[in-house]
Each structure stands twice: as structure tokens, then as C-alpha cells.
């Protein structure tokens, strides 16, 4: 039988498990780092796409990339999320799309919820959750 975990165990895990991944960005002739989002940020991203009433995928690829971009130690690259979304939202998809797919995969955000939200961008009473979807 596995040991019973305590609050201290969860705190220790949170502090020691910053997960970052180096990703090549051929369009910029360089590389960057992306991170696994904390649960709170991941939930906020999911809700920004579909709050259960409205589905809004406007600039969702740039939004996810901005949230995931970080330095080597896992600290977010953008302090101003809105400015980062604007910057990447105005960038060519040749650079943003590969990063978006890396971020989705690294954060285990399934594609079906996003595709469904794009397809049905009208308000509904349904709620889609990316956590219900298989890994990419």
C-alpha cells in the first residue's frame, strides 16, 4: 500500500517540479522554453475558451503560447499577458502554430475541445473541458 500523502508532500512536489522544455523555433533561428502550466492557469485558459455559456477561441493559440513561454527556470516570459497575446496574435502562424502545438502537447491539452469550440463558436449551455480528452 502506498504512503498517505500530506500537505507537506504536495508543497514539496509543487516547489520541486517546475517542468520546462526547450523548443526550437526555426522561423526565428533559435529556441525558447515552454512550461507546464499550474492547474489554476490551465483552468483559466480552458475557461477563457469555453466558460460553459460562450465559446471564444479568439487568439487562443497566441494566448496559450504566451502563458507557456518561460525562461530556463520556468518563470513566465511575459509579465503583461495581454501585450504578449497582441504581439504573438499579430505574428505569422508559421511561428506561432508550431509553438501552440508544442504547448498543447506538453500540457496535455487535447485538440478535440478546441476544435469543437472553433466549430461551434455560438453560445451554448454546454461545457467542454480539455481534461476529458485524450493526450495528443
For 56-115, how does the pLDDT look when each residue is reduced to its tens digit (9 = 90+)? 899 999 999 999 999 999 999 999 999 999 999 999 999 999 999 999 999 999 755 555
Q: What is the value of pTM for the model shown?
A: 0.74
Confidence of residue 136 (pLDDT cuts 50, 70, 90): very low
> Span 31-42, mean pLDDT?
95
Return the residue matching grid coordinates 514539496. 12
Q: What integer pLDDT is reported at residue 52 of this predicted model?
A: 84
Q: What integer pLDDT is reported at residue 11 of this predicted model?
A: 85
What does 33-67 look like in DSSP terms, one character per residue?
EEEPPPHHHHHHHHHHHB-SS-B--TTHHHHHHHH
pLDDT, the chain, mean: 83
Please compute, for residue 127, the number of CA atoms within 13 A of its CA located in the half-sphere on the CB side: 9
Question: Could you name the CATH architecture of 20-120?
Answer: 2-Layer Sandwich (3.30)
Answer yes or no: are the C-beta atoms of 45 and 39 closer than 8 Å.
no
Residue 25: exposure state from Cβ atoms within 10 A (0-12, 13-18, ≥19): middle
Backbone angles phi, psi at 128, to 5 degrees: -105, 140
Amino acid at each position: 500500500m502506498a504512503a498517505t500523502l500530506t500537505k507537506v508532500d504536495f508543497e514539496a512536489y509543487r516547489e520541486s517540479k517546475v517542468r520546462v522544455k526547450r523548443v526550437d523555433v526555426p522561423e526565428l533561428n533559435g529556441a525558447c522554453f515552454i512550461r507546464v502550466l499550474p492547474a489554476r492557469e490551465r483552468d483559466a485558459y480552458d475557461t477563457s475558451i469555453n466558460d460553459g455559456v460562450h465559446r471564444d477561441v479568439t487568439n487562443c493559440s497566441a494566448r496559450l503560447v504566451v502563458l507557456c513561454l518561460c525562461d530556463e527556470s520556468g518563470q513566465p516570459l511575459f509579465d503583461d499577458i495581454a501585450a504578449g497575446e497582441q504581439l504573438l496574435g499579430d505574428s505569422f502562424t508559421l511561428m506561432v502554430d508550431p509553438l501552440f502545438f508544442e504547448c498543447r502537447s506538453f500540457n496535455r491539452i487535447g485538440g478535440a475541445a478546441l476544435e469543437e469550440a472553433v466549430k461551434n463558436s455560438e453560445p451554448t449551455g454546454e461545457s467542454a473541458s480539455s481534461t476529458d480528452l485524450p493526450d495528443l
